Amino acid sequence: MKALVYHGPGRKSWDEVPDPSIQQPTDVIVRIDTTTICGTDLHILKGDVPAVAEGRILGHEGVGTVVETGSAVSTVAVGDRVIISCISACGSCSYCHQGLYAHCLAEEGASGIGWIFGHLIDGTQAELVRVPFADNSVYKIPEGVTDEQAVMLSDILPTGFEIGVRYGRVKPGDVVAVVGAGPVGLAAMMTAGLYGAARVIALDIDHNRLDQALAFGASDTVDSAAADWVEQVMAMTDGHGVDVAIEAVGIPQTFDACTKIVRPGGTVANVGVHGAPVQLNLQDLWISDIAITMGLVSTSTTPMLLKLVAQNKLHAERFATHHFDLDQILDAYETFGTAADTKALKVVMSRR
């Protein structure tokens, strides 16, 4: 088969590689119909995730068709269309019982790490992929849900909701700021209304993405490159600051921005993947009763979000701005990597 292979920082290629095979009775083999690129893939290519070894097939988002099942698989069958979750979960360890699938203790890739695709085992940017623990790690796609809708449920929608909205403790009437209007930030904006946010303020330096944010649930936008951006946010909150500030980029400046606009007693929810240390000014924050949360998505909310997509309550297809054939994946990476110029949100690659 063909697959997108990582060859060390800054190097990747679309290579001929061996087909995957069933290794455990709980595995399935899925033929990839649609996949996409995540900002985390760009972090890997920059060398920010050293656990990714040279020769690894990248990608952790995908939908496809089951073509082979292990003997212990009971919930899916050959021919089923499925969402491949970015997090693999055995379903039986102590963390899985808590719904913390991100910390699954099963011995696949590494104990205590649920994110294994394109990280510790071969991923989804390929023609075929082996999916461990299939009974707990894939979701059947209901009739009427398209591939481009479903693939957004592999990672970004549950990530924005779980780590931004749920961990951020958004409650009815809250004012929420989302710093970074990229795909995950937009997912947090799209789902903040599920918990009753009264106002959602999008902050970014990219005016196109700020315009896009208004279609994803933002009520207000602020150009964070403006000299008075803090004052603008404060003016929207009677000078108090926002109840929840969601960091959705993964750089020190955006985390610091969240701490400047959150009100006393508020929450900073860090969603972004950071590749460099962040200074935490505890000497200023402690007196304001600020809570800081962070984490890796567990995808425990994927079934609920899938129901909302199926009923047209969440318009996941809006994330898909560019479409490519699967064998055009290198072009897709170029488009996604230069999103400021191409105006890409999510690039979708599909099998012909």
pLDDT value, residue 310: 98
CB 139 within 8 A of CB 30: no
Q: Are residues 42 and 185 in the same domain?
A: no
pLDDT value, residue 21: 98
pLDDT value, residue 9: 95
Count of domains for the chain: 2
Query: Which of residues 254, 270, 294 is at a domain's end?
Result: 294
Q: Which residues of 209-243 are buried (b: 16+ CB within 10 A; e: fewer)?
A: bbebbeebbbbbbbebeeeebeebbbebbeeebbb
pLDDT value, residue 125: 98
Q: Are residues 168 and 124 in the same domain?
A: no
Per-residue pLDDT tens listing for the chain (352 residues): 999 999 999 999 999 999 999 999 999 999 999 999 998 999 899 998 899 999 999 999 999 999 999 999 999 999 999 999 999 999 999 999 999 999 999 988 899 999 999 999 999 999 999 999 999 999 999 999 999 999 999 999 999 999 999 999 999 999 999 999 999 999 999 999 999 999 999 999 999 999 999 999 999 999 999 999 999 999 999 999 999 999 999 999 999 999 999 999 999 999 998 878 999 999 999 999 999 999 999 999 999 999 999 999 999 999 999 999 999 999 999 999 999 999 999 999 999 8
pLDDT value, residue 11: 97
pLDDT value, residue 107: 82
Q: Are residues 120 and 166 in the same domain?
A: no
The predicted model scores a pTM of 0.95
DSSP letter for 202, please.
E
Beta-bridge partner residues of 64: 32, 82
Alpha helices in 262-342 (DSSP H): 282-285, 302-310, 329-337, 339-342
pLDDT value, residue 298: 96
Q: Are residues 147 and 164 in the same domain?
A: no
Could you tell me the CATH number of the domain that includes residue 13?
Answer: 3.90.180.10
pLDDT value, residue 200: 98
Could you tell me the CATH number of the domain that includes residue 256?
Answer: 3.40.50.720
Q: Are residues 229 and 145 in the same domain?
A: no
Residue type at position 160: G
pLDDT value, residue 275: 79
Q: Are residues 275 and 305 in the same domain?
A: no
Q: Are residues 236 and 278 in the same domain?
A: yes
Q: Which range marks the domain in which residue 193 is found?
A: 157-294
Q: Are residues 38 and 94 in the same domain?
A: yes
pLDDT value, residue 71: 98
Query: Which of residues 258, 278, 294 is at a domain's end?
Result: 294
Q: Are residues 88 and 56 in the same domain?
A: yes
Residue found under tokens 């330096």? 205
Q: Are residues 273 and 330 in the same domain?
A: no
Query: Which of residues 294, 321, 339 is at a domain's end?
Result: 294
Q: Are residues 279 and 304 in the same domain?
A: no
Q: How far apart are the first and last CA of the chain?
A: 14
CB 246 within 8 A of CB 164: yes
Q: Which residues, 6+ apart, have CB-to-CB distance to 307 below 8 Å?
A: none
Q: Are residues 144 and 29 in the same domain?
A: yes
pLDDT value, residue 276: 86
